[in-house]
Structure 1
């Protein structure tokens, strides 16, 4: 009984918490990576379990469809037995069953990583975290340094404008006789585990003395200033009007999200169909080629350089190739369903 409960606890941790941890690790990436380890342990545990359930639901459906498993049997069995683990003899697990368990575990980790990366880029590319506070990351310094404010929070004379760069005036705690301010363009920064600034890296750094109003250029490519040496920070955002090219960026960003969703769907969908494994692999290849064709035809009109746009003949060729593989995909799935 105790051994069974211990094994059940281990399986519970592996099955739910670990995939949830992998999802969060890849969702909180870049300048938001410190949020992965921040917060109360109970909150992190609950969110890991939640995303673990989501990942396991997707993995179980994909794994079950790929290997022709009965998706309802394990769930019904667990409910009917009321999780009575005493009836399970873990010593009778065969080598093939162990390999299947390992394969399922690796697939769940892969799904967690892909889902974490996908969700991160959807939120960042679409700027959903800027528009909706509930989706904002805890790293508020990123939004300040990048000038990423919602239209409602922007100054009246800055609405409709885009921030292209940020100039910083770093007031030193212990100024010298020749310098009390460091000026420069923000390049990089880093945070500690509590989300506080550790240092700031600026480009084109200059020393400025308020008394003499003298500016001295600091030689070097990058200049690092520790936060422990900084008393105050003055932000100067460089805004520019949103021209046609910048208006296209939103459309390109939205198109990229849609295409990324189509790619992810096309790569996953064949595995949930009840068709032979060779048909699933061929369907994935067809979906990928179709996605490339659609991407070329959709992105071409949005290209800035006219030379990068497809000609009429290239459009016809790309459309023909896409249509050909779409027909192949349809026939592959139809034949595969009849073969089962």
Structure 2
């Protein structure tokens, strides 16, 4: 029974605030980093550290705003007694807490849940506003594809330094990317190793739920595909090779550019 009460106290005090912090910290394009399909032990493990930090902050705020009738030492004594098997007896502070302060504890826990959600919401927005995720890997979100497709990868330190010494002399400063144009090579048939090239503007994308570092789907607009031109044979069955330069002096193209009908073209990404 004591172990059950101890687990409930631990879950309410540490795990739930940590989960709420992570839920509101990861937002928008980064929300898949908080996955509800994660194993329970995985979610608990990654919620302990933020949960402890949030709990310490709440205790400090509570102490300086309303004041404790008990010392900080009593808090640890109560938590130890609740999580122990009771073989060492129960301290007076724990008995007083159970008899008189259990309702206050649940009200305090509710306030902690709200505070942890607010802190998670504010922290992630503040990091994005200060561009710390682009300056420091410690604050970078795991959704690498967002940084690539949005063009923010160009504003990261290594890429800025690389542009300064590259042939693109106008680079090396903050750049705004409206859309990303992608060339995607698709395997049509594995038997004859047939492939087709699709190009278009990346409107959106999905990540795999079990591994957010991998793409699941890519949504293209204004999509075209490139089809290899059919061989032209003479009467003897030999291929007639066309001139590599056309009449205007431009190189001839070996593939036809064909518009894909429809407003949105969805490509399913398969990883091997």
Of 204, 207, 211 in structure 2, the residue corresponding to residue 188 of structure 1 is 204
Change (3 A) 1:44 1:113: same
Q: What is the TM-score with the length of structure 2 in the denominator?
A: 0.69
> Conserved in 1, the CA contact under 8 Å of 2:220 and 2:266?
yes
Question: Which residue is 2:221 aligned to?
Answer: 203
Change (3 A) 1:133 1:92: closer
Question: Which residue is 2:72 aligned to?
Answer: 75
Q: What is the TM-score with the length of structure 1 in the denominator?
A: 0.56
More helix by share: 1
Structure 1 distance, partners of 2:137, 2:38, is 17
Of 171, 177, 185 in structure 2, the residue corresponding to residue 171 of structure 1 is 185
Structure 2 distance, partners of 1:13, 1:198, is 34
Question: Which residue is 2:134 aligned to?
Answer: 130
Structure 2 distance, partners of 1:76, 1:99, is 21
Question: How much is the aligned-residue C-alpha RMSD, in angstroms?
Answer: 3.3
Change (3 A) 1:81 1:145: closer
> Conserved in 1, the CA contact under 8 Å of 2:221 and 2:263?
yes
**Structure 1 residue 57: Cα displacement:** 2.4
Residue 15 of structure 2 corresponds to residue 17 of structure 1 = yes
Give the ranges of 4+ consecutive aligned residues of structure 1 lying more than 6 Å apart after TM superposition. Answer: 38-43
Q: What count of residue pairs does the alignment treat as equivalent?
A: 223
Structure 2 distance, partners of 1:197, 1:214, is 28
